């Protein structure tokens, strides 16, 4: 049970939602807090351990609101936010579909235009996540249409840092969905459009934006540049990856991103060396892989698997069998960890795919 909800918790929820609304989140969440703060807090407290009970509490609160009301819209958005927490780490089709249904109903409620644009953008993100599980082009098509609509309806030019970050966030989500279309057999896609979208997102991102967010946006742009592989793209990508690594290392909220950023930088350096130095992996790239493995450990087995595999391959090509063995040991440890953890099957397959067929 969540226990008694205190006035301090209610005040804390209100303050948090006011801060989120000031940063561009839907304002109807405040209407929901006015109508049902105890239910929202109880659900949040229950969700980590008893998600079914949390959703039941919220569904009861939703059923007690007037149809199409602002309060109902806010509670539906709060429910979608809880479902997104699960979908962030171990996505299931059921959770994503429930979140989509909550957002679609919220979109039929009374909302300001800014909230409707936020709902549209969030729906686009969810349909993109759904595509990641289904590989259905129709899901990706819906994601792209919704994300493009959200970007189109976001005011330009942004007048404040908050508005600039909001537009940059929507551009980043659009760019990532555009990038997904490149790898789908029927998706088509234009890497030039992906790079242009992500470049605009980075350009708009204010310095006041949290370091973790900036790291992700810089990395997304660098990855797109590596994919385009035009004249000077690899060198530019290395610069963006370096900045991302430096910021992730310096920022308290960026430490969790550092293993992946080190892996990305190592890969970019290796690709650049393949062009300039007859394919020999530079020592810096190998050192980055070793550090990525050590930092990822059992906490990020997917990163450890890819970094260990790359380290083993690269050291083996150089005849350094001691380091090759160390890299492959990290890879095997990560594979055992992934096989035993409670992750979704698509998540496991995505992590294990890079090692498929390797000896």
| pLDDT tens for each residue of the chain, 359 residues long | 445 667 888 888 888 888 877 777 778 888 888 888 888 888 887 776 777 788 888 899 999 999 999 999 999 999 998 888 766 666 789 999 999 999 999 999 999 999 999 999 999 999 999 999 999 999 999 999 999 999 999 999 999 999 999 999 999 999 999 999 997 766 677 999 999 999 999 999 999 999 999 999 999 999 999 999 899 999 999 999 999 999 999 998 888 999 999 999 999 998 888 744 445 578 899 999 999 999 999 999 999 999 999 999 999 988 899 999 999 999 999 999 888 764 555 554 444 444 444 43
d(CA 327, CA 312): 4
Structural contact between residues 164 and 206, judged by C-beta atoms closer than 8 angstroms:
yes
pLDDT of residue 275: 47
CA distance 153 to 296: 39
For the record, the structure tokens of 307 come out as 């970094």
Burial (CB count within 10 angstroms: exposed 0-12, middle 13-18, buried 19+), residue 333: middle
Distance CA 268, CA 254 (A): 20
Q: Classify 205 as helix, strand or coil.
A: coil
Q: What is the spatial distance between Cα 359 and Cα 339, in angstroms, rounded to a whole number?
A: 18
> Which residue bears the tokens 């998706």?
187
Residue 296: CB atoms within 10 Å: 25
Do 166 and 158 meet the contact criterion of CB atoms below 8 Å apart? yes
Q: Any residues with CB less than 8 A from the CB of 171 and at least 6 apart, and which?
A: 151, 197, 198, 200, 201, 204
């Amino acid at each position: 049970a969540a226990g008694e909800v205190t006035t301090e918790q209610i005040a804390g929820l209100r303050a948090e939602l006011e801060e989120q609304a000031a940063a561009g989140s839907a304002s109807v969440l405040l209407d929901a807090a006015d109508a049902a703060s105890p239910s929202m807090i109880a659900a949040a407290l229950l969700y980590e351990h008893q998600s079914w009970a949390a959703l039941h509490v919220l569904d009861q609160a939703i059923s007690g609101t007037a149809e199409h009301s602002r309060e109902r819209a806010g509670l539906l958005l709060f429910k979608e936010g809880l479902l997104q927490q699960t979908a962030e780490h171990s996505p299931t089709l059921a959770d994503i579909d429930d979140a989509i249904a909550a957002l679609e109903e919220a979109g039929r409620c009374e909302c300001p235009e800014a909230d409707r644009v936020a709902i549209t953008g969030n729906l686009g993100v969810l349909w993109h996540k759904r595509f990641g599980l289904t590989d259905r082009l129709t899901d990706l098509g819906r994601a792209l249409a919704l994300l493009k609509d959200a970007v189109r309806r976001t005011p330009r030019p942004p007048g404040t840092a908050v508005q600039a970050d909001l537009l940059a966030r929507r551009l980043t989500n659009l760019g990532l969905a555009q990038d997904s279309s490149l790898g789908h057999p029927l998706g088509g896609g234009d890497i030039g459009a992906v790079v242009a979208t992500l470049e605009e997102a980075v350009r708009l991102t204010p310095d006041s934006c949290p370091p973790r967010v900036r790291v992700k946006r810089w990395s997304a742009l660098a990855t797109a540049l590596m994919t385009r592989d035009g004249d000077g793209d690899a060198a530019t990508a290395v610069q963006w990856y370096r900045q991302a690594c430096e910021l992730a290392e310096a920022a308290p909220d960026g430490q969790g991103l550092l293993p992946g950023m080190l892996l990305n930088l190592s890969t970019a350096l290796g690709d650049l060396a393949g062009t300039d130095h007859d394919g020999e992996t530079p020592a810096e790239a190998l050192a980055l892989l070793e550090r990525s493995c050590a930092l990822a450990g059992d906490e990020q087995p997917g990163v450890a698997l890819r970094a260990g595999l790359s380290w083993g391959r690269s050291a083996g090509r150089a005849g350094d069998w001691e380091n090759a063995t160390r890299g492959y040991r990290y890879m095997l440890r990560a594979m055992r960890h992934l096989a035993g953890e409670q992750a979704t099957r698509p998540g496991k397959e995505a992590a294990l795919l890079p090692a498929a067929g390797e000896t």
